[in-house]
Amino acid sequence: MRVSPNNFTFTFLFKSCQSYDDFETGRVLHAHVVKFGFGGHVFVQNTVLDFYSKCSEDVSSALKVFEEMSERDVVSWNSMICAYMNHGEIKLAIELFKSMEERNAVSWNLVISGLAKRGDMESARLLFEEMITWNAVTKNARLGLDNEVAWNAMISGYMRNCDVKNARLICDQMPVKSVVSCTAMISGYAKVGDVGEMKRLFYSMPVKNIITWNAMIAGFVQNHKFDQALDVFHRMLMFGEYKPDETTLLSVLSACSHLGAHEQGKWIKSYIQKRDVEISTILGNALIDMLAKCGDLESAMSMFNQMRKKCIITWTSMVAGLAFNGQCKEALALFDEMCMERIQPDDVIFIAVLSACTHGGLVEEGKRVFSQMVKQFNIVPRIEHYGCMIDLLSRVGKLEEAYMLIKSMSMRPNAVIWATLLGFCKLYGQREMLEVMKK
């Protein structure tokens, strides 16, 4: 017995293709839409249009569907606006929006949010004010004062541009301040370093969610107020309304790393284990970094070995942790092991390895690693790589070699590099080298 598909069948299928970003299967489904006679069905066509707007590499497929639709509703227009926005065709999106006879809250939100995300706050502000005026004419609250999405988009947009004055102006005008808007303001205050306003707003909020708590903890970490970050974390646990998620734990582990708060860090590690929190690669990296910086190399290495999925940051965290604790030969050995496993190193891990060589006085090893970086992995040295090598060579009295390396640099040496060489010239009594440097 054959059962023919209906309009809901295609909706679910297109949503599935969208989830897997399966463009080719979506195109085949589109052919079946036409085959089964749903080409004039606005509900199904909107689903097809939405699929093309989000999965196609350009806007042409979505535009073709839109233009061929015998019937369109506000959802059709919104989907086409979304397609233009997704593909950076901002001018066309606004032109289409302006030509709409009927708009709803989604129409306004798409354009205002799209402009705000792209940093065009002047255009976003003009449309936002037009929306408020439209509300006064149509007396449709959802298009104006109660359209929380548009208000939050404006606040977030201004805060991304560090424009606290205008963000606060919008927030103050907001009829009912939501958790989302206040959280956006907290993140914005953190970004510009206004810790006082960040705290004032947070503690005045009658309702908070997990994102609010995370924004506050991250804000303190961002502004190097690590003790206060841990204090807010403990308040969060004390209230017990929300359980820490991965974002919370990452911020708290960062605070512990900076403070060297080993006991706090161990407690958090224990908390993660007792609550059966899944240790993702990013969380595992943070744990390794925290444990190593707190001097607990055994636990850091244990975590490193337990991790099934390691990325370059995992290896870098462990190499840097070993170097930080004076285990310089071990750091170099771990790096060599990584290379043997054919994991592509980046410029950051080379800074960690060269630092290990510097602190361990491993001159030949350092020269090998520097050469390996340039010749084998084709990484252009940064000023930090040169700084490590100048320091390493100068420490062991190879001042002429250090000077020649400075002269060969592809960039202008900074004051730190010259100060390093100068300091060791004085230490070793190399007056001739000092005279050469003056020239």
Q: How many angstroms separate the CA atoms of 46 and 62, rounded?
A: 10
CA 359/CA 396 separation, integer angstroms: 11
Cβ neighbors of 416 (< 8 A, separation 6 or more) are 387
Question: Is residue 92 a part of any domain in this protein?
Answer: yes
> Which of 304, 239, 292 shows the shortest CA–CA distance to 265?
292
Q: Rounded mean pLDDT of 113-132?
A: 92
Query: Alpha helices, DSSP H only, in 341-398?
Result: 347-360, 363-371, 383-395
Confidence of residue 7 (pLDDT cuts 50, 70, 90): low
Report yes or no on 2 lying in a domain. yes
Query: Number of helices and strands (H, E) in the chain?
Result: 26, 0
CA angle 9/13/18 to nearest 5° reads 150
With respect to residue 50, please indicate whether it lies within any of the assigned structural domains: yes
What CA–CA distance (Å, rounded) separates 89 from 227?
A: 46
CA 144 to chain centroid:
32
The pLDDT assigned to 48 comes to 83
Host domain of residue 89: 1-102
The model's pLDDT over 19-74, given as tens digits with 9 standing for 90+, comes to 777 788 878 878 777 777 776 678 888 888 888 888 878 888 888 888 888 888 89
List, in order, residues 6 or more apart from 99 with CB less than 8 Å away. Answer: none
Place 3 in a pLDDT band, splitting at 50, 70 and 90: low
The per-residue pLDDT for 406 is 93
| pLDDT confidence tier of residue 17, bands split at 50, 70 and 90 | confident
* pTM for the model: 0.79
What is the per-residue pLDDT across 239-285, written as a single tens digit (0 to 9) for each? Answer: 888 999 999 999 999 999 999 888 888 889 888 888 888 889 999 99
237 Cβ contact list (under 8 Å, min separation 6): 244
- Evaluate whether residue 67 is within a structural domain: yes
The answer to whether residue 195 sits within a structural domain is: no
Asked if residue 1 is part of any domain, the answer here is: yes
- What would the DSSP string read from start to end of 250-306? HHHHHHHHHHT-HHHHHHHHHHHHHTT----HHHHHHHHHHHHHTT-HHHHHHHHHH
The number of distinct structural domains making up the chain is: 1
Residue 87 falls within a domain, yes or no? yes
Of the pLDDT bands very low, low, confident and very high (cuts 50, 70, 90), residue 1 is very low
375-413 pLDDT, tens digit per residue, is 999 999 999 999 999 999 999 999 999 999 999 998 999
- Please check whether residue 17 lies inside any domain of the structure: yes
Say if residue 145's pLDDT is above 50: no
